[in-house]
């Protein structure tokens, strides 16, 4: 199967590789986008990568994806734990999506344990570091392939 995936990174993920290496590692956002694009291309998918610190921009990108993407890989950052609007955008467009978290949110503060997306995500990869993005791409591609057959 060939197709296109949207990779969305939410607030503060532009800081990857510059601070908190003990929690998020040393890879930069550019490294993450490259590794996800490589994983996608090895499976015959193109990948468009967008990072934004603004909830509305992320929602606009999700809406636009319904015209040209087959699925979405998203690390919503802190919006994971707060945003009904992001959930509504994802369920509204109806594209299958993978929720990724670099850190193990369940081993951190209690406010990170709740996700507004966990019950509607097709795939979840939590706490596998930045390699989790490649894993999410592979699992989402497998989900799409299985759905097509
Ligand atoms: O583990 C993850 O990927 C998170 O989605 C990252 C969010 C956090 O709010 C979630 O609970 C878990 C925060 C992203 C902030 O990223 C930074 C990276 C480097 C330095 C500072 C922040």
Confidence of residue 104 (pLDDT cuts 50, 70, 90): very high
For 81, the domain range is: 11-148
Note whether residue 144 is domain-resident: yes
Tokens for 8? 């969305």
Note whether residue 25 is domain-resident: yes
| pLDDT of res. 92 | 98
The Cα diameter of the chain in Å comes to 44
Note whether residue 125 is domain-resident: yes
How many residues in total does the chain contain?
Answer: 149
Q: Count up the domains in the chain and report the number.
A: 1
Rounded to an integer, the average pLDDT of 118-145 is 98
Exposed / middle / buried, residue 100 (Cβ in 10 Å: 0-12, 13-18, 19+): buried
For residue 69, the CA-to-ligand 1 centroid distance in Å is 25
Note whether residue 6 is domain-resident: no
| pLDDT of res. 87 | 99
* CATH (domain of 76): 3.40.50.9100
Eight-class DSSP state of 15: G
Note whether residue 5 is domain-resident: no
**43-79, pLDDT tens digit by residue?**
999 999 999 999 999 999 999 999 999 999 999 999 9
- Which one of 24, 67, 81, 114 is the catalytic residue? 24
For residue 67, the CA-to-ligand 1 centroid distance in Å is 29
- Which one of 54, 67, 101, 116 is the catalytic residue? 101
Angle between helix axes 55-68 and 84-93 (nearest 10 degrees) is: 10
Pairing of strands 123-126, 3-9: unpaired
Note whether residue 107 is domain-resident: yes
Give the predicted TM-score (pTM) of the model: 0.97
Contacts of 56 (CB under 8 A, 6+ apart): none
Looking at the DSSP assignment, which residues form a beta bridge with residue 47? 5
Note whether residue 118 is domain-resident: yes
């Amino acid at each position: 199967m060939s197709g296109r995936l949207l990779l969305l990174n939410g607030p503060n993920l532009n800081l990857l590789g510059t601070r908190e290496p003990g929690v998020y590692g040393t890879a930069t956002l550019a490294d993450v986008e490259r590794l996800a694009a490589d994983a996608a291309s090895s499976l015959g998918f193109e990948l468009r990568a967008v990072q934004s610190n603004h909830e509305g921009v992320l929602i606009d990108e999700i809406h636009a994806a319904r015209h040209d993407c087959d699925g979405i890989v998203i690390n919503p950052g802190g919006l994971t734990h707060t945003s009904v609007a992001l959930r509504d955008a994802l369920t509204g467009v109806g594209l299958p999506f993978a929720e990724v978290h670099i850190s193990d949110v369940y081993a951190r503060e209690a406010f990170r344990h709740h996700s507004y997306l966990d019950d509607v995500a097709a795939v979840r990869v939590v706490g596998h570091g930045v390699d989790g993005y490649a894993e999410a791409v592979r699992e989402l591609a497998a989900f799409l392939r299985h759905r097509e057959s």
